[in-house]
């Protein structure tokens, strides 16, 4: 049944969604692999992050650490869904077909039965809200994950919004709290993660990116161009600004950062499906890449000894291929050895990300 405006009735669906929230139970997933140097190196290469604490054991020890650390903003990559498992939830994407035969379920290290978050996504997909876009990510870091740590993630569905009208299409905002722990059950990070589940519009919106721009790869600059991880010469003060980071949004950057964060959603690598299935003008960067870039603005400015404490961001205009992202930050508060920064990123469509970050510095 539809309303007088032609919109479908959502009362019954809303009730089912809130029943899932009320269950209050979650799922537990153990990372397939311990924190390891090759994955960290791939992440740093893809994002162009110059922090030597992620690549050089001696440099990491010089900052007071015991050895290599994983970028804190990389924490979600360790427990992201396997490609066959993701393919099984998005059978409408032609490119996933080769992986469906390999579907093996969540695996022995997952306790995902009766998972309310999975039930919500199944309900929304069944009712036509099959497209996904992450919109908000707040990561709080309790300690740095080091090479050799074996992480697990407990996810609990916290809220599902009423149906909303958005620029991407009508949909629901689904928020999950993820708690990451190490092999000793010590807390590593807490993540509040919001995804918009939406219906795609009938007509494609206009934005930078097209079949032509998807094929264009400028020779320069690269994601690492101009990036230096070096502490400031003087203690931070309110009003201090970070260096500006400029990132060309090429197809290689979009795909490399998605795969380095273990995100195999087709909107970040399959241009044909993104245009036809999502009605978007081309592939676009994922939120985990943006989170890594925001964290990098802070650590590039603070230097290798910087300890990130929190990154809280909201995505706005997408980063489509053919565009350019410009990021910079400003110190908004200083208390002892801790600083808070406001980080913004813009592209040709306007603001892409608005973020706050907290870090502990050694100057």
The one-digit pLDDT tens for each residue of the chain (363 residues) are 444 434 556 788 989 999 888 887 778 999 999 999 999 999 999 999 999 999 999 999 999 999 999 999 999 999 998 888 888 877 778 888 888 765 444 444 444 445 778 888 888 988 989 888 899 999 999 999 999 999 999 999 999 999 999 888 899 999 999 999 999 999 999 999 999 999 887 655 544 444 444 545 555 577 878 899 999 999 999 999 999 999 999 999 999 999 999 999 999 999 999 998 888 899 999 999 999 999 999 999 999 999 999 999 999 999 999 999 999 999 999 999 999 999 999 999 999 999 999 999 986
For position 112, what pLDDT does the model report?
46
What pLDDT score does 183 carry?
Answer: 97
C-alpha span between 7 and 115 (Å, rounded): 29
Full strand arrangement of the beta sheet holding 350-360: 110-111, 26-30, 152-160, 171-181, 187-198, 131-141, 307-315, 350-360, 338-347, 324-335, 245-248
Residue from 146, 282, 263 nearest 209 by CA: 282
DSSP label at residue 93: -
What letter does residue 268 receive in the DSSP assignment? G
Spatial distance between the Cα atoms of 214 and 282, rounded to a whole number of angstroms: 7
Helix extents (H) in the chain: 11-23, 37-47, 57-62, 83-89, 97-100, 116-126, 211-214, 251-260, 271-277, 287-302
Enumerate domains of the chain plus CATH numbers. Answer: 11-360 (3.10.129.10)
What are all long-range contacts of 1-8, with beta carbons under 8 Å and residues at least 24 apart?
A: 7/170, 8/127, 8/128
Q: What is the dihedral of CA 7, 9, 11, 16, to 10 degrees?
A: -100
CA distances from 169 to 7, 208, 279 (A): 12, 19, 10
Name the nearest CA neighbour of 181 among 171, 173, 172, 191.
191
Which residues share a beta bridge with 196?
A: 133, 173
According to DSSP, residue 267 is labeled G
Long-range contacts of 213-221 (CB under 8 A, 24+ apart): 213/282, 213/320, 213/321, 213/322, 214/251, 214/271, 214/282, 214/283, 214/321, 214/322, 215/251, 216/250, 216/321, 216/322, 217/250, 217/251, 217/252, 218/248, 218/250, 221/246, 221/248
What does the chain come to in residues?
A: 363
Residue 25's alpha-carbon distances to 30, 123, 192, 358, in angstroms, are 17, 17, 16, 30
How confident is the model at residue 314, as a pLDDT?
Answer: 97
> ∠31-37-39 over CA atoms, to 5°?
55
Q: What are phi and psi of 102, to 5 degrees?
A: -90, 5
- CB–CB of 362/329 below 8 Å? no
């Amino acid at each position: 049944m539809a309303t007088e405006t032609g919109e479908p009735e959502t009362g019954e669906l809303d009730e089912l969604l809130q029943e899932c929230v009320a269950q209050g139970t979650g799922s537990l997933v153990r990372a397939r692999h311990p924190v390891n140097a090759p994955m960290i190196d791939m992440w740093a290469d893809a994002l162009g992050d110059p922090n030597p604490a992620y690549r050089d054991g001696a440099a990491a020890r010089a900052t007071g650490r015991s050895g290599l650390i994983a970028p804190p903003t990389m924490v979600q990559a360790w427990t992201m869904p396997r490609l066959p498992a993701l393919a099984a939830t998005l059978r409408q994407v032609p490119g996933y077909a080769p992986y469906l035969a390999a579907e093996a379920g969540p695996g022995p290290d997952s306790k995902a039965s009766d998972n309310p978050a999975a039930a919500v996504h199944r309900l929304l997909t069944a009712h036509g809200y099959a497209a996904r876009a992450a919109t908000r990510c707040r990561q709080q870091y309790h300690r740095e994950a080091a090479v050799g740590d074996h992480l697990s993630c407990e996810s609990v569905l916290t809220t599902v919004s009423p149906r909303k009208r958005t620029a991407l299409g009508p949909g629901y905002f689904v928020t999950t709290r993820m708690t990451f722990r190490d092999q000793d059950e010590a807390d590593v990070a807490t993540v509040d993660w919001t995804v918009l589940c939406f219906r795609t519009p009938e007509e494609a919106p206009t934005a930078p990116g097209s079949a032509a721009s998807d094929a264009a790869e400028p020779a320069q600059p690269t994601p690492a161009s101009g990036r230096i991880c070096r502490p400031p010469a003087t203690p931070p003060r309110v009003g201090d600004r970070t260096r500006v980071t400029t990132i060309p949004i090429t197809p290689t950057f979009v795909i490399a950062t998605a795969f380095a964060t273990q995100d195999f959603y087709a909107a970040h690598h399959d241009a044909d499906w993104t245009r036809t299935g999502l009605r978007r003008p081309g592939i676009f960067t994922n939120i985990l890449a943006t989170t890594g870039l925001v964290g990098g603005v802070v650590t590039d400015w603070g230097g290798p000894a910087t300890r990130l404490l929190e990154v809280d961001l909201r995505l706005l205009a997408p980063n489509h291929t053919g565009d350019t992202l410009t990021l910079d930050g400003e110190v908004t508060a200083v208390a002892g050895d801790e600083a808070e920064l406001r980080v913004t990123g813009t592209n040709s469509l306007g603001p892409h990300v608005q973020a706050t970050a907290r870090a502990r510095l050694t100057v």
